[in-house]
Structure 1
């Protein structure tokens, strides 16, 4: 039997300005510029200008809004700074949703009577952010902002289509070729079965093609540039590239290795290959060296391929002046924004205008929404700047030895909790800053998360950063005899003799994080 019960619950909800701050905090500098441009286009009450003009405009806004606003509003006015001892994410959230302000309707006859007694001050001094939505809060805007920009450059597919047009094929075989090119993956391989491609041609283009015809078209495409394109597996890709080379003994030996002993080659069982193919030490060494120079991903070798070059724009700039570290925020993180004076002056015009106009309420509400949105956005930008500087300043103090010398062995163990406790903020806030920001130093550009690492116990009783252990592990592997590479057990013993108390499984984990293969795959001739 179903029952209806009433329960009173307490829940935490993020206010619009807190959501605004979170979104702005986690985006990097490059995206911030685009986000500000979107807000400027969406909100006519927000415009670019210097800080002094913004303060003057805000002073006028305070006069227009009136002095009797609710003192419990804990959002700072334009020009004020947030209290550095408080974190916007750690405040007690409002437990009740903000009501939406009703808009006047023309067809409501009772509204005419109410509009005669319309008091402008009721709307100028309204504390509620009526209908306030920051740009990008809705799903559609979010999807539009996350949509990648169109790539106007030539792609690998375009290059292959261009080469196909020069083949002077009939309509049927050109259609087969276009279907094959469309089936090529980003790395340059065709992994679909030729029978499935034949079905696609039959159902989508009404073209009857046998697998032999498709195979013939594929052989043609495999002669296109870059070498190895259109291969169905790694072995075929490497053989296609060898076919382009002038044939000599080395190329012939390399082809035999791939054709007859490919499994042994992938496992680096060189003695078995040498014994099976009856090759000398010098012959197998030259052949293996040639194979290793080939490109296993021909699709990624195209300089005009579909991949977009990404540039890292540092959010912080750290300089060393005779042992004194100076931290500055990238100028792109501190844009000059202000509230529009024109929108401020609109309130004065409304105040002096006809109070009985039933459209006045709707106009005042719209202007107030835009002014509130502009003010919240400027405050969120300022709060973002303060949070970034406080977080990075704490990281610099914590890792000062590294920033002075650039030596990875100087990195101290540091986790998000250490920084969060020092600056009095929540761990989630520090995480948002560390996951998407970078700092420019005299030793290069580093992502902030690079400086966070776990601690490894040492014989001296102190903890060493896992970065330091990885650095030493990499040095040991680089100096090993490649003919007899060190196993994880031997690496563990070598690190233990250096004073690092580390287990073999931890060595394996660090080795994998450094993208270093196991000992068997590191073996060289």
Structure 2
């Protein structure tokens, strides 16, 4: 049976939901932390001539000036002599003449300003004449999703740069310097060098036309291991700890530390300390001192420098200020920072009114200017509406969070936190879950008990057999409390922890205990034993 291709057409109706430009702008603005919002507003003010701003302080100053002007005017009126002689009449005529001249001057100035605004509008036709879209500059990396990484403000000195600065303290020729830079660039984030000298030598020859022997690379690595922090450039954890110990003064404790890491490293990592003490034949006091000194060593020397210096000097600007009074009353406010009061430029508004009143006599040039001014005014108004919508959404979201977690905000006890997920807040506010997610992501709240991410107040919950809902945060706190208070010579296993927590009113499965223990960064019982 032969086959053939047949083309056909059919018509069908499909409903597709699309976001308008205004909705996209509102969504993008809702994701912005306060610092990025300030920068975005300033960029819009610089870009859109129809947008103007004033700080609240300026408005208050203007109001005081008007009151002072009114008071001065009233005072002058009361003090004016009432004599009706010719001199007074002459003075009145003179004042009328001055007023007429002033009015004429103001009218001429206004015409010049309007003409100037029209010229500016015409010169900018075709430039930036779109309504705002969603590509406002993101100062926090890729902001396509609400989970973009937070930008950290501080001295941006990288780990790589900090090590390169130390190269001036050692005697290197040009070839060694190139090898050193490549070796530094090959370090992992924890500061260890997991590439072999042989592979580094091959990579230098293939990718950089630098021909050197394996011994040359090893000599450079040896120099790198003298840099700060101690342990940098080690090939593994054992060598990293040995490098740090060798930097210490030569004492009996230091020699014992070297023996432990050099001869009994596996036993040390597996917490078989009793075996090590027996092999070294040392007193319990000396053993405790050696053990405590070994725990002070840094297994990740690269982390002490950080990826950037700025990450260690992170500044957080809270988006909400939550205040708890002594009587338990909880209030909050939205931190406006340096966000100014925004409004559409009156000159552009009047320009539109003037053009609309003279439509019949408008030339093509005037119509183009009217179109430009109209688009700029609509863009400014849309931006202002998005800022107001952001404020309203943030207000109702934070109010719902405080209503649910009021007990925590009153006493600061994390065990009082109720199970709360995004859906709970969405149901209270009438907003979509995605909207709540955008508000709670990368936003901070300053409370009486500290400054936290909004995500801090969210937690899942589990239901007990009695139907009571327990917060996972409360269970984790109870778990940590039990482990902190256990006998370290006989630490609890996960099965034992399950029984102890059940007695404390937290009946959860053993696998749940194991999961929470791992999330808290707590090792198994064998590794907790001392």
* Structure 1 and Structure 2 fold alike (TM over 0.5): yes
User: Does residue 17 of structure 1 match 2:22?
Assistant: yes
User: Does residue 314 of structure 1 match 2:313?
Assistant: no
1:4-43 equivalent positions in 2, closer than 5 A: 4-43=9-48
The answer for the alignment partner of 2:332 in structure 1 is 327
Q: Shift in Å at residue 212 of structure 1?
A: 0.5
Indicate if the aligned counterparts of 1:456 and 1:500 stay in contact, CA closer than 8 A: no
Indicate if the aligned counterparts of 2:153 and 2:310 stay in contact, CA closer than 8 A: no
Q: Shift in Å at residue 269 of structure 1?
A: 2.3
- What is the TM-score of this pair, normalised by structure 2? 0.77
Distance 2:457 2:51 in 1: 37
**Structure 1, residues 335-371: CA drift from partner, whole Å, max 9, x if none?**
4111122322332454559956434444333322221
Residue 9 of structure 2 aligns to a residue whose secondary structure is coil
Q: Which structure 1 segments of 5+ residues have no match?
A: 55-129
Q: In terms of Rg, which structure is larger?
A: 2
User: Does residue 482 of structure 1 match 2:481?
Assistant: no
Relative to structure 1, the CA distance from residue 487 to residue 307 in structure 2 (aligned partners, 3 Å threshold; closer, same or farther) is farther
The answer for the alignment partner of 2:399 in structure 1 is 393
1:257-276 equivalent positions in 2, closer than 5 A: 257-276=260-279
- What is the TM-score of this pair, normalised by structure 1? 0.77
Q: Which structure 2 segments of 5+ residues have no match?
A: 60-128
1:355-434 equivalent positions in 2, closer than 5 A: 357-434=363-440
**Structure 1, residues 385-405: CA drift from partner, whole Å, max 9, x if none?**
111111111121222222111
Indicate if the aligned counterparts of 1:194 and 1:215 stay in contact, CA closer than 8 A: yes
Relative to structure 1, the CA distance from residue 453 to residue 172 in structure 2 (aligned partners, 3 Å threshold; closer, same or farther) is closer
The answer for the alignment partner of 1:346 in structure 2 is 351
Distance 2:354 2:259 in 1: 88
The answer for the alignment partner of 2:115 in structure 1 is none
The answer for the alignment partner of 1:249 in structure 2 is 252
Relative to structure 1, the CA distance from residue 198 to residue 361 in structure 2 (aligned partners, 3 Å threshold; closer, same or farther) is farther
Q: Shift in Å at residue 263 of structure 1?
A: 2.4
Query: Which one has the bigger helix percentage?
Result: 2
The answer for the alignment partner of 2:167 in structure 1 is 164
Relative to structure 1, the CA distance from residue 372 to residue 427 in structure 2 (aligned partners, 3 Å threshold; closer, same or farther) is same
Residue 332 of structure 2 aligns to a residue whose secondary structure is strand
Distance 1:193 1:386 in 2: 58
Task: Count matched residues.
Answer: 450
- What is the aligned counterpart of 1:299 among 302, 312, 316? 302
Relative to structure 1, the CA distance from residue 444 to residue 520 in structure 2 (aligned partners, 3 Å threshold; closer, same or farther) is same
**Structure 1, residues 434-472: CA drift from partner, whole Å, max 9, x if none?**
222222211112222222222233476422222222211
Indicate if the aligned counterparts of 1:316 and 1:440 stay in contact, CA closer than 8 A: yes
Q: Shift in Å at residue 406 of structure 1?
A: 1.2
User: Does residue 512 of structure 1 match 2:518?
Assistant: yes
Relative to structure 1, the CA distance from residue 149 to residue 200 in structure 2 (aligned partners, 3 Å threshold; closer, same or farther) is farther
**Structure 1, residues 324-345: CA drift from partner, whole Å, max 9, x if none?**
2212111238641111223223
The answer for the alignment partner of 1:197 in structure 2 is 200
User: Does residue 132 of structure 1 match 2:131?
Assistant: yes
Indicate if the aligned counterparts of 1:21 and 1:384 stay in contact, CA closer than 8 A: yes
User: Does residue 290 of structure 1 match 2:293?
Assistant: yes
Distance 2:500 2:465 in 1: 14
Q: Shift in Å at residue 232 of structure 1?
A: 1.7
Relative to structure 1, the CA distance from residue 334 to residue 463 in structure 2 (aligned partners, 3 Å threshold; closer, same or farther) is farther
